[in-house]
Amino acid sequence: MAGQATEKRVSVYLYIPNIIGYIRVLMNFVAFALCFSHKKLFAILYFFSFICDGLDGWFARKFNQVSTFGAVLDMVTDRVSTTCLLVILSQIYSPGLSFLSLLALDIASHWFQMYSTFLSGKASHKDVKDSTNWLFKAYYGNRLFMAYCCVGSEVLYIILFLLAEKQPESVVDVFVNTMKEKPLLILPLLFSSLGWAIKQAINVIQMKTAADACVYYDMNRTK
């Protein structure tokens, strides 16, 4: 029995989506190691790692290799990579506190959501069918909409990283100058900014909804 358990554990670690997760970790490690010396290579590696975030989910469903370990690996990789990028942006743009605030919101909302999911006994933090907020339900209920918001947010951060020249630089000034001097970037900036804005709204809603779930759990427990 012990041998079978070990075999099963090893097989989970070798699931295709989990192997993709390991590759994502490696790509992010290399990307951030080279971020200041090879900015374009960083952007390519970081973005490709982000695209793999969608691929691992597809492979997990395709080959019936969904696992709790894979879900945790996926979320941790997402949060850590976004965290590192936001910290870098907070150092090359002013006010840096704006990016650190976005980082705090991202971590807090996902932590609250994961913990409230655990308390409610749900299998996935994406199970929000009982939510009364239409935007929150649309985000987790429609993969394309969710992908647009996530991709838009990450693309905006990558563009800002590539555009930064002087340090520290004002985000507003960079936006204004880009609109004037680089018209080809206007559409990508607007497209990604809209996705980013929706994602931040979702983070706020998610944190409030999850916090309420924690409070309701305490109220029911003390009855």
Distance, CA of 108 to CA of 79 (rounded, Å):
11
pLDDT of residue 195: 97
Known catalytic residues are 78
The residue written with tokens 């492979």 in the block is 59
pLDDT of residue 2: 47
pLDDT band for position 10 (50/70/90)?
Answer: low
pLDDT of residue 131: 86
pLDDT in tens, 56-95: 888 888 889 988 899 889 989 999 999 999 999 999 998 8
Six-digit token string for 106: 């991202």
The residue written with tokens 């649309």 in the block is 138
Q: How many structural domains does the chain have?
A: 1
Q: Are 171 and 93 in contact (CB under 8 A)?
A: yes
CATH number at residue 155: 1.20.120
Distance, CA of 205 to CA of 207 (rounded, Å):
6
Q: Are 65 and 57 in contact (CB under 8 A)?
A: no
pLDDT in tens, 186-215: 999 999 999 999 999 999 999 999 999 999
- Domain enclosing residue 31, as ranges: 2-221
The DSSP secondary-structure symbol of 170 reads: E
The DSSP secondary-structure symbol of 169 reads: E
